[in-house]
Structure 1
Amino acid sequence: MKTKLVIPGLTAGLLIASFLYKPGVITGFQQFYEFIMSGLKDENNIKIILFLYMFTGLIGMMKFTGGIKGFVEAASSKISSKKGALMLTWFSTLGTFSAPSFRIVTVAPIMKALLNKVKITPQELGFVIETTATPIIVLMPIATAFVGYMSSVVQLSIRAEGIEGDGYRLFLQSIPYNFFSISIILIGFYLSFFHDRKKPATDAGNPEKKLDDKWEDCHPAVAKELPSKPFNLALPLGGVILLTLLLTYWSGFEKGFTSPVNAFIEADVLDAMVFALLTTVLFTFLLYLFQRFSLKELVRFFIEGGNDMMPVIVLLTVVWGLAASAEALGFSEFVTANLDWIPALFVPPVLFLVGAFISYFIGSSWGTWGILMPLGVSLGNSTGTDLPLVIGAVFASGTFGAFSSPLSDNTNTIARILQLNPMTYAKFKLGPALIGAGTAAVGYFIISFVI
């Protein structure tokens, strides 16, 4: 909270844990290295890193070949009303749910081009776009940049507790308990189609500043010099989704589960996602080469796109090391011995509120999950609280910060594209976000009575 930076904070925690476990200058730093390497030696963790790098690399190629710009141009030329713009925002989620940043840079420029044509303010449009970004994406069970990480932090946490189970399956079971995401989606839907606020389209930080209606160059993905080829987005993205579904089903089918539902539950989802993405990337290279794009440039943009994910990969590496250090220091035993007196009724709502506070001040859902999930699973296990409910509460708390924090990447990306003042825009979102958070907290109290 002091530095507003997640990675240095987590690294400081890991260094302290290393020196607590093995005091001494040399032994402490050696243990720090061993904790870091423990996560990188895990096969599933390497698959997650590979998936994240290839996914953002694929988006980098989409940008270079005009896929994102083509989608923006095609959509902006056909929408001329507020209702049409908002319907496009919601329906476009079906094709852009892979990552919040990807969704924002494909939808926000369209909205920017339409703001002076429709009766809606840029901050209201930004709110609707963000409502259909992270809150929806965290509920998606496949083909997103979030699934691998969310399953990973759950798997690490249950492994530290000695709990038998599968992280992905617990993630699936926790989806209905992400009450903040569900609440803010409903609020966003109401504001989109049932709330009429007649105000001129002005900057949230400067009411006298007229919004520029040009969408070119509002983000590098839609720069003027890029070509406009919407199929260069639709085909690769559709291929990833379709192949992931088919390979996930096939993975479960090979294990003897013919029912689609059982096949999906029992499948090796991470393997299917990585294989589907790798196959799509290879065919996408061929598709773009057939269009006479330079192989050298394709490789450069793929690597540049993948490198955009390096801060997240570093974050993951530190989180995995911190999980190993917490296990070595007996974190789960400490929680079981000292905190099992807490009534199960209070565990989910308190975890959600504490996590929402943390995530607002660090602006990172992934950082919040990495910090809070081990504690949540330990508390849930020691108090007998339903684990999917606890996991859902932790995921909901991180989603709150990613949506509402002025430090969030999503907030600042939207503000840059729509020419908003980030702090003023964040304050505008905070009211509905707090309503959603209050609704979620009450929901956790009520559901704790029932389960």
Structure 2
Amino acid sequence: MDINFGIWSLIPPILAVALAFLTKNVILSLFVSLFSGCLILACGNPWTALQTTFSDYLFVDMTSGSNAQTIVLMAVIGGFVALVEKSGGARAFARAISNKLTKPVSAQLACWLGGLAIYFSDSGNSLILGPIFRPVFDKLKVSRAKLAYILDSTSSPVCILIPITGWGVYVMNIIATQYEEIGIDGSDAGTFMQAIPYQFYAILALVLIPVIALSKKNFGPMARSEQLALKGLTEEQMKSEDAIVVEDDKEVSMWNMLLPLIVLFIVIFAMFIGWGWPTHNIAGSKIRIALTSGYLLAAITCLIMIVKQKLMTFQQAFDIFVGGIQKMGSILAVIVVAWGVGSVCGTLGTSTFIVDSTTGTLSPALVPGLLFVIGAVISFAIGSSWGTMAILLPIGINMAYSFGLDFPLVIAAVLSGSLFGDHCSPISDTTIMSSMAAGCNHIEHVKTQLPYALVAAAGSFITYLIVGFADMSAAIALPIAIVVALVLYFLCCKLFVKKAA
């Protein structure tokens, strides 16, 4: 049983947040946080703390069954994503749906649909769609700020809703680890699936895009950007044309993306059915086996197509696969150190202390809304939803357990808050890549996106409060969230109406 170190147990998570805010370096911040926890356990002995950091946490967490599976799976996903992006198949697919776009509304909706289709990579989404839709938006005089907003709002929000992406695997791993520590006999995959309809921010961010496009109404800084776009490209935008170099697709077919994805789903569902799905629940470990197998065979399929079509040599294609694995290095580093922080906080009794401190003073009904706000603040400050989830999910799950709250609801509140803060943060990698891919000034993208993101966030927060007090199901709560967000959006439009052409 974990020992409660009282207020000292708050030092690691506070350090993680404070240092991430000051240094903008999530890995360094999490490592210092982990070391500080070990220093407390070692009664201030830095030599013992250094050894404990590796022997009892990093090495142990890396080699545990589910964590080792996650590392391998994330590496394979990285290789697959790199192959699909570099082969030109994803870009060919996006181009196929944008061929006959003659109106601003249809261009925005096509970009939105493309973002929904390219679900497997938050960064790939922007980098693939941005260069394709940028000339379309320019031709139709839709602002690049609007393009950047659509790219940013269909990257992470899509990935976090799908269990077979790196995002889903990462979240399920944290859930599995916490369930094991608490002693809960539950399915991490099942919990994640049940949390999907409670992820109000991700869903509202996606719902607002077609509403904004079809209504042709804008408010705030976005309205000004849209009006400037009607006058043509600015000098700064024309200079940015050389900022992104788009490789020649060599007449690549969209099947270079579709066929590997078909293989991926066939392998995954064939294994699921073999294990008794849908009549039996599948363990998280088996799901990771199916995902790893599916992504590997999909990558092999993509590699074979690349070589057969003479787009690249085998060695070039294989080097791209390995390069994709290497690009996952920084993400894997965050994951591994985050595991260590979660474990040391468990040993220190951080969650227990927070729950004990709030028991009797905090209404359980306020927990989802509070976690949403805290997640948003942390994520905005450090520019990382993954780092925020690593810090906050263990605390949220323990609070749900102690207060007797619905696990999917509390987990979804943490995920939504983490996503919202990351979505708006100027130091977030997805925010930076969205503005870069759209050829939009980065600060302009942040300023124009923020009011729309706040609409989705306000709708989410209000609904979390309603659900917390009314204890309603997701089937009722989600429509309420959508209605609240739409009312807020049209209210803003009523106050500051700017109609696009």
TM-score by length of 2: 0.81
3-state SS in 1 of match to 2:398: helix
Partner of residue 344, structure 1 = 364
Matches within 5 A, 1:80-95: 80-95=102-117
CA contact (8 A) 2:84 2:90 kept: yes
Shift of 1:33: 0.4
Shift of 1:244: 2.3
Shift of 1:74: 4.0
**Percent identity, aligned pairs only?**
25
- Taking the aligned partners of 1:430 and 1:365, their CA distance within structure 2 comes to 16
Matches within 5 A, 1:37-436: 37-141=59-163, 143-196=164-217, 199-201=227-229, 208-211=235-238, 219=244, 222-224=246-248, 228-253=252-277, 260=278, 262-263=279-280, 268-292=286-310, 293-341=312-360, 342-436=362-456
TM-score by length of 1: 0.90
Partner of residue 6, structure 2 = none
3-state SS in 2 of match to 1:180: helix
Unaligned runs of 5+ in 2: 1-20, 219-225, 472-501
- Taking the aligned partners of 1:78 and 1:264, their CA distance within structure 2 comes to 44
Shift of 1:312: 0.5
CA contact (8 A) 1:50 1:274 kept: yes
CA contact (8 A) 1:61 1:298 kept: yes
Note closer, same or farther for the CA distance 1:430–1:117 as it changes in structure 2 (3 Å cut).
same
Note closer, same or farther for the CA distance 1:37–1:201 as it changes in structure 2 (3 Å cut).
same
3-state SS in 2 of match to 1:172: helix
Deviations 1:299-323 (A, max 9, x none): 2111111111111100000011112
Note closer, same or farther for the CA distance 1:31–1:238 as it changes in structure 2 (3 Å cut).
same
- Taking the aligned partners of 1:339 and 1:106, their CA distance within structure 2 comes to 46
Partner of residue 33, structure 1 = 54
Note closer, same or farther for the CA distance 1:106–1:263 as it changes in structure 2 (3 Å cut).
farther
Greater mean alpha carbon deviation, residues 191-200 or residues 122-131: 191-200
Return the match for 1:21 from 33, 41, 44. Answer: 41
- Taking the aligned partners of 1:382 and 1:429, their CA distance within structure 2 comes to 37
Shift of 1:246: 3.2
- Partner amino acid, structure 2, of 1:275: S
- Taking the aligned partners of 1:188 and 1:73, their CA distance within structure 2 comes to 20
Shift of 1:13: 0.5
- Taking the aligned partners of 1:46 and 1:202, their CA distance within structure 2 comes to 52
Deviations 1:337-359 (A, max 9, x none): 33322210111111110110111
Note closer, same or farther for the CA distance 1:181–1:65 as it changes in structure 2 (3 Å cut).
closer
- Taking the aligned partners of 1:411 and 1:163, their CA distance within structure 2 comes to 37
Greater mean alpha carbon deviation, residues 232-241 or residues 98-107: 232-241
Shift of 1:218: 5.6
- Taking the aligned partners of 2:203 and 2:104, their CA distance within structure 1 comes to 24
Note closer, same or farther for the CA distance 1:356–1:203 as it changes in structure 2 (3 Å cut).
farther
3-state SS in 1 of match to 2:140: coil
- Partner amino acid, structure 2, of 1:116: D
CA contact (8 A) 2:94 2:114 kept: no
Shift of 1:288: 2.7
CA contact (8 A) 1:15 1:32 kept: yes
- Taking the aligned partners of 1:33 and 1:111, their CA distance within structure 2 comes to 47
Shift of 1:119: 3.6
Deviations 1:163-192 (A, max 9, x none): 332222111111111121222223222112
CA contact (8 A) 2:382 2:427 kept: yes
- Partner amino acid, structure 1, of 2:53: F
- Partner amino acid, structure 1, of 2:201: F
Shift of 1:73: 4.6
CA contact (8 A) 1:319 1:370 kept: yes
Note closer, same or farther for the CA distance 1:203–1:263 as it changes in structure 2 (3 Å cut).
farther
RMSD: 2.5
Shift of 1:239: 2.2
Aligned residues: 439
Q: Which has the higher helix share?
A: 2
Deviations 1:212-262 (A, max 9, x none): 797xx7646x32486644332222233223432333333234xxxxxx3x3
Shift of 1:269: 1.9
Shift of 1:397: 0.7
Note closer, same or farther for the CA distance 1:201–1:306 as it changes in structure 2 (3 Å cut).
farther
3-state SS in 1 of match to 2:439: coil
Unaligned runs of 5+ in 1: 254-259
